[in-house]
């Protein structure tokens, strides 16, 4: 083959940085967008928050303008620009009460001699005390970080010898988040002896410390298995508690039989009456098999709706939630510093930041416009859900919205990701309104969400002693014009977390 050079023309699509930024903003949630805006405000001096009436007085702005004019007359300097930016922020920042008090203390202390009596001139009482000299305990609080911290706090309040306290700390360190001991006592004992120069610890000594620790809060903590955890909680109940003796025996000897909930077989083994068995099982069901989780860190994630929908004058109306995102604008003073004929580094720096600021504002506007259009279209198609709940949900897929708005399905997917709509029925992610469909006898379609809601309604209305099977639920759905297979009914039932008919009947008989 002979080698040669050839010219070839072709076309291809490339994503500009501006388009990448617009796509990035489109898929951000409200909280993520607020963080992105904050980062842009810190990195781009041409962007500022439009605070409206919170502007500084006119005389202060005149002083700042005169300073900027002095810079324009000379060569541009980034350090000077940043210092003036800081001065502008300082004029807009109100003086807090703590700063005012600090200035007053500084002035007062400057007038005092070195050997002055400070107690006569200053109030040295703690901030947690009121005028009567009593501590204000409402301002003093301590947050428990973990289960180990809670147990160590109780350990410090319990009289232990130095040796027993070291053993107790070793036991607490080996606890799991569920409240059980992570290692067996032999491993804990060997590990402690390997790191200790004292006399070896006997197993009886270790058990004595463990039994004292098992009386700590929460009840059932530091147990080695589920049986021991339940027994610890039962032993802490009053002896006059109804069915407590039967519950202790069932937990000790028949724990596996309790799980099967076969009352007739269990009554023959224990020779208890059905009333005694039901009372004891109900008492056991009220215990906590994982006591440590009650003190687990609860990182609650709060949802900020991106849009609200409400009915006004008989019509559903949508409005965007802009309370968490500040309004931005171009800093006019900095933009006026730019000289079109100047190619210096400082002037080019301002030009680049001005272009980025304008593209960022356009991307924000495009994001809000697209989100508003999608939310309005979803509300128009799902008015039945807004009026009647999940039963009124209609089948809808991404292509339905994309075709109506003349957008790509990927754009609709980005808009509906991590975006929430506040409705009279609750707060839902926009993706919740998209669901598959099943056929109806009339040739139409029914949303799978609506089918799940109907199934839940039918199961809630069933007789507890005679629950509906999946075949019976399929027949009832067919009577309402919804054609689904039995395995589809089972799939929807399991997605709702509802057990089978045999399990529901067995559980009902055990109560």
| Three-state secondary structure call for residue 341 | coil
Strand (E) or helix (H) holding 309: strand 307-312
DSSP secondary structure code for residue 242 in this structure: T
Token code pair at residue 475: 């027949």
350 burial via Cβ count (<10 Å: 0-12, 13-18, 19+): buried
* Cβ atoms within 10 Å of 155's Cβ, excluding its own: 19
Tracing tokens 């319990």 back to the chain, one arrives at 158
- The structural domains of the chain, with segments of one domain joined by +, span 147-295, 308-433, 437-510
Report the pLDDT averaged over residues 466-482.
Answer: 89
Q: Which of 103-107, 249-253, 293-297, 453-457 has the lowest mean pLDDT?
A: 103-107
Is the model more confident about 381 or about 505?
381
- The bridge status of strand 328-330 relative to strand 47-49 is antiparallel
Strand-pairing partners, residue 129, are 135
Give the pair of three-digit tokens for residue 16: 């500009």
SS3 breakdown of the chain: % helix, strand, coil, rounded to 5? Answer: 55, 10, 35
Give the three-state DSSP class for 342: coil
Distance, CA of 454 to CA of 350 (rounded, Å) = 61
pLDDT (0 to 100) of residue 242: 92
CA angle, 43 then 44 then 46, to 5°:
160
Residue bearing the bigger pLDDT, 361 or 146: 361
Q: Which residue pairs, CB below 8 angstroms and at least 24 apart, start in 132-138? A: none
- Residues 154-192 pLDDT 10s: 999 999 998 888 888 888 888 888 889 866 776 766 665
User: Is residue 370 classed as helix, strand or coil in its secondary structure?
Assistant: helix
Where does 437-510 sit in CATH, by number? Answer: 1.10.10.60
Q: What is the pLDDT of residue 234?
A: 94
Distance CA 457, CA 460 (A): 5
For residues 499 and 193, which has the higher predicted lDDT (pLDDT)? Answer: 499
């Amino acid at each position: 083959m002979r080698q040669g050079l050839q010219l070839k023309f072709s076309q291809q699509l490339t994503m500009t940085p501006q388009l990448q930024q617009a796509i990035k903003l489109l898929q951000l949630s409200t909280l993520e967008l607020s963080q992105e805006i904050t980062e842009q405000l810190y990195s781009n001096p041409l962007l500022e928050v439009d605070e409206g009436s919170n502007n500084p007085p006119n005389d202060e702005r005149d002083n700042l303008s005169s300073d900027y004019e002095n810079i324009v007359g000379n060569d541009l300097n980034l350090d000077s620009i940043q210092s003036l930016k800081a001065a502008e922020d300082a004029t807009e920042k109100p003086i807090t009460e703590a700063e005012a008090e600090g200035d007053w203390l500084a002035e007062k202390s400057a007038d005092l001699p070195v050997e002055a009596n400070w107690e006569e001139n200053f109030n040295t009482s703690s901030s947690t005390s009121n005028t009567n000299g009593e501590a204000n305990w409402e301002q003093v609080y301590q947050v428990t970080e973990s289960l180990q911290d809670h147990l160590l706090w109780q350990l410090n309040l319990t009289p232990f010898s130095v040796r027993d306290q070291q053993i107790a700390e070793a036991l607490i360190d080996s606890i799991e988040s569920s409240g059980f001991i992570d290692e067996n006592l032999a491993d804990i004992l060997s590990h402690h002896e390997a790191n200790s120069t004292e006399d070896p610890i006997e197993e009886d000594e270790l058990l004595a410390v463990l039994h004292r620790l098992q009386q700590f809060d929460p009840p059932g903590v530091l147990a080695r298995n589920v049986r021991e955890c339940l027994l610890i909680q039962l032993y802490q109940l009053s002896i006059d508690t109804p069915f407590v003796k039967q519950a202790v025996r069932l937990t000790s000897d028949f724990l596996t039989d309790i799980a099967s909930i076969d009352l007739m077989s269990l009554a023959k083994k224990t020779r208890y009456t059905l009333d005694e068995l039901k009372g004891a099982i109900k008492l056991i069901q009220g215990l906590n098999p994982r006591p440590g989780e009650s003190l687990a860190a609860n990182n609650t994630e709060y949802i900020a709706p991106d849009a609200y929908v409400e009915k006004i004058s008989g019509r559903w109306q949508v409005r965007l939630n802009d309370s968490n995102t500040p309004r931005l604008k171009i800093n006019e003073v900095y933009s006026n510093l730019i000289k079109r004929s100047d190619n210096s580094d400082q002037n080019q720096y301002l030009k680049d930041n001005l272009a980025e600021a304008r593209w960022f504002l356009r991307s924000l506007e495009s994001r809000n416009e697209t989100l508003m259009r999608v939310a309005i279209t979803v509300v128009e198609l799902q008015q039945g859900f807004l009026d009647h709940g999940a039963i009124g949900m209609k089948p809808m897929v991404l292509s339905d919205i994309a075709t109506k708005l003349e957008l790509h399905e990927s754009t609709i997917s980005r808009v509906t990701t991590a975006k929430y709509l506040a409705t009279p029925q609750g707060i839902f992610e926009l993706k919740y309104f998209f669901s598959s469909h099943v056929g109806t006898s009339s040739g139409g379609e029914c949303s799978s969400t609506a089918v799940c809601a109907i199934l839940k309604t039918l199961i809630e209305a069933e007789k507890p002693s005679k629950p509906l099977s999946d075949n019976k639920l399929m027949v009832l759905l067919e009577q309402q014009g919804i054609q689904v297979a039995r395995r589809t009914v089972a799939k929807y039932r399991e997605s709702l977390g509802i057990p089978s008919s045999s399990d529901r009947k067995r559980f009902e008989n055990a109560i």
